């Protein structure tokens, strides 16, 4: 009996983590679209999971701002307004520019492998664009930015970034085919990586900022022109 209880306790965290990752992915990719409302049982059934780990996953996602639990009314996926997106991009700009500068300030033998990692992801972006696979392009683009922050050496910065990127990813996927072909991003990424490789912290900061500000200026007017009050 004791061994069985210990085994159950050992597997429980992995079940919760699986539920958390599955539900977050479904929200990020708009399987559960903004404004979706359902009970924990309904969500668990759609994910093919039991209710208990899904309940704990929902608590975590509410802390991250992706869902809201409504007493006696279930769970609702939080919508984002264009003003929310404006604020999100302000935070992204601050975090990514700091991360780019931090990496560029590292010793050459530390920043070189990071630059190589970033180059490899950027190459995957370029390859996806060449075969007109915008979904794969978006996934690789997201990996580039996540890697940029993750390799900064600042764990708190990375945690903040993870939460804010989950929110902005939904806007990226909803507008992916509405925006101009994203050919400029690969070149801008190359500029950021080159500055990092050469240890030019101020240039890395400036290039990362220009890249994200351009993306913001493209996305926000698009949302306004489409009359999208929430996404």
Average pLDDT score over residue span 206-229: 81
d(CA 198, CA 206): 14
Beta bridge mates, 70: 74
Give all strands (DSSP E) within the chain, no chain letters: 37-38, 67-70, 74-77
pLDDT in tens, 17-41: 999 899 988 887 778 887 889 999 9
Q: Which domains does the chain have, with CATH numbers?
A: 2-77 (1.10.10.10), 82-225 (1.20.120.530)
Instruction: Name the one residue in this structure whose structure tokens are 């560029």.
Output: 104
Residue 169 has pLDDT above 50, yes or no: yes
Beta bridge mates, 147: none
Read off φ and ψ for residue 76, nearest 5 degrees: -120, 135
d(CA 113, CA 110): 6
Q: Where is mean pLDDT largest: 78-87, 129-138, 175-184, 199-208?
A: 199-208
pLDDT in tens, 102-149: 999 999 999 999 999 999 999 999 999 999 998 899 889 999 999 999
Q: How far is CA 182 from CA 106, 138, 178, 186, in A?
A: 30, 10, 11, 8
| Residue 192 contacts residue 207 (beta carbons within 8 Å) | yes
| The length of the chain, given as a count of residues | 231
């Amino acid at each position: 009996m004791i061994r069985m209880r210990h085994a159950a306790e050992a597997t429980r965290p992995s079940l919760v983590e699986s539920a958390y990752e599955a539900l977050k992915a479904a929200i990020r990719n708009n399987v559960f679209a903004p404004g979706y409302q359902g009970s924990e049982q309904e969500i668990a059934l759609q994910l093919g999971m039991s209710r208990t780990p899904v309940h704990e996953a929902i608590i975590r996602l509410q802390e991250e701002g992706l869902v809201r639990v409504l007493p006696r009314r279930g769970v609702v996926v939080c919508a984002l307004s264009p003003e929310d997106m404006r604020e999100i991009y302000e935070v992204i700009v601050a975090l990514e520019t700091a991360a780019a500068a931090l990496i560029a300030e590292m010793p050459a033998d530390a920043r070189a492998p990071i630059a190589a990692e970033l180059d490899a992801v950027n190459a995957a972006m370029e390859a996806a664009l060449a075969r007109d696979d915008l979904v794969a392009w978006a996934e690789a683009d997201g990996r580039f930015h996540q890697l940029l922050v993750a390799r900064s050496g600042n764990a708190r910065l990375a945690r903040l970034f993870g939460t804010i990127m989950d929110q902005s990813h939904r806007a990226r996927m909803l507008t992916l085919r509405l925006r101009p072909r994203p050919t400029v991003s690969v070149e801008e990424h190359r500029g950021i990586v080159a500055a990092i490789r050469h240890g030019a912290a101020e240039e890395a900061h400036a290039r990362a900022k220009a890249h994200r500000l351009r993306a913001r200026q493209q996305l926000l007017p698009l949302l306004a022109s489409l009359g999208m009050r929430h996404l």
